[in-house]
Amino acid sequence: MTYNVQPLRTQQEINDFLFCLRRNQHAERDVFLFLIGINSGLRMSDIVKLKKQDLLTAKNPRIVEQKTGKTRILYLGSLQDLIQDYTKTLDPDDYLFPSSKGGHLEVNTIYQMFQKVAKLLGRDDIGTHTLRKTFGYHCYKKTKDVATLMEIFGHSSEKITKRYNSNSL
Catalytic residues: 43, 67, 129, 132, 155, 164
**Longest CA pairwise span in the chain (Å):** 45
Residues counted in the chain: 169
Of 161, 142, 133, nearest in space to 40 by CA: 133
DSSP helix/strand/coil, 63: strand
Long-range contacts of 86-90 (CB under 8 A, 24+ apart): 86/28, 86/32, 87/52, 87/55, 87/56, 90/52
